[in-house]
Amino acid sequence: MYPNNLKKTKIDYKVVKKPELEEIIKIGIECSKIILETPKIKKSIVNPWYTLNSKYFVNSEGSEILQNFTDTIVDMISIAHESGITQSVNITEGGRGGLEQIINENKIQQSAKEIALKASQLTLAKPAKEENATVVMNPDFVALLAHEILGHPSEADRVLGKEMAWAGGAWWKNKLGEKIGSENLNVFDDPTIKESLGWYQFDDEGVETKKTTLVEKGVLKNHMQNRETAQIFNSAPTGNMRATNYRFMPLIRMACTCIGNGDWNVPEMIKDVKHGYLISNMKIPSIDMKRYNWSISCQYAQKIENGEITDLLRDVIVMGTAPKFFESIDACGNDFTVRPITNCGKGDPMQSMIMGNGGPTIRGTATVKSVN
């Protein structure tokens, strides 16, 4: 039933450029300056940080596993104000590794410019009218979608009702082997994706990690399993048992849950839309207890008219039900991006965890409306 878990190993995850406090502060100040130089920007919040982590695991099987890793992150928010309207845009950049996660090709400086410009533009944007429409979602928005309505309900303890805190149910209980979405929907969890915040080789039960297929061509294939739940589902543990630190008991947690990419060229995907919306960048989710009904606000949206991107829209929420939305997915882009997630909560007492989530640009049908 189980893989051979007897391991004695030490793993040092790759760090190309060791983070130093002085240098990461310098990067933060530079990004704040870039944001504040943009017209209409009234405030910038830049939080650069890194952690040095060492996890030592032993068990009664004789396993002895030491994993050493560094995480380097920058959180940024730009806030614009004009004519009584305040708009903010934020971004998180970074991953498992050293300063190379944020300084390569001036990535962090470019992100600072982009969020400042977009916040400034949003002060002149219009709200959206409520309607059910075609939506094209960019990978940053898809990352939160994958996290909330695919990742959490795929954790087997939640499927079984053993961990119900923080909207802890799963609407697809007892649906393994059934079709829950269109043939374009493929979902996986993969702790082996290097440099993502969900990259690790052994979980907190000493189980070696691997890529796990959760949904294949719209069919629910598996859940994320620990040793206990794997016996209940007649499956194998998937390497997803993790605790925030030694003070807490491990829980089944996502590592890097993503929607798989497809073969659509993204501009062609947009060109194919007669009337719809381009939905960009994650904001705030609201999910029911079984992750069936969901609404997720985006940082901004744009109208698509006859295949052309037109008006910029602010304060937009996207809403749907999980099965109806999954079934509506008719295109997945040939792009693919993993985004850093730094504040996922689960359990009671709540454990905060970092991980990756992501996917390609996807197209489906959902309700779009303005917050106000």
- Give tens-digit pLDDT for 94-144: 999 999 999 988 889 999 999 999 999 999 999 999 999 999 999 999 999
> Could you give the domains of the chain?
8-122 (3.30.2290.10), 126-372 (no CATH)
The rounded distance, in Å, linking the Cα atoms of 349 and 17 is 36
DSSP state of 149: I
Q: What is the pLDDT of residue 5?
A: 55
Closest CA relative to residue 278, chosen from 144, 137, 146: 137
Give the strand order in the sheet containing 187-189.
Answer: 219-220, 212-216, 187-189, 256-259, 351-359, 337-346
Question: Which segments within 60-209 are labelled E, that is strand?
Answer: 64-82, 85-96, 126-127, 131-137, 187-189
Question: DSSP character for 274?
Answer: S
Mean pLDDT of the chain: 96
Tokens of 54: 């060492």
Structure tokens at 261: 């990419």
State the DSSP H helix or E strand holding residue 359, giving kind and residue range, or none if neither: strand 351-359
Map residue 329 onto helix, strand or coil: coil
Residue 4 has pLDDT above 60, yes or no: no
**Coil, strand or helix: which one is 147?**
helix
Give the pLDDT confidence of 161-188 residue by residue, as tens digits.
998 887 788 999 999 999 999 999 999 9
Instruction: List beta partners, residue 202.
Output: 208
Ramachandran angles phi, psi of 319, nearest 5°? -130, 150
CB atoms within 10 A of CB 286: 13
pLDDT in tens, 131-157: 999 999 999 999 999 999 999 999 999
Tokens 């059934």 sit at which residue? 178
CA distance 68 to 55: 6
Task: Give the whole-angstrom CA distance, residue 246 versus residue 290.
Answer: 29
DSSP 104: G
Specify the pLDDT at position 3: 47
**Residue 260 phi, psi (nearest 5):** -70, 150
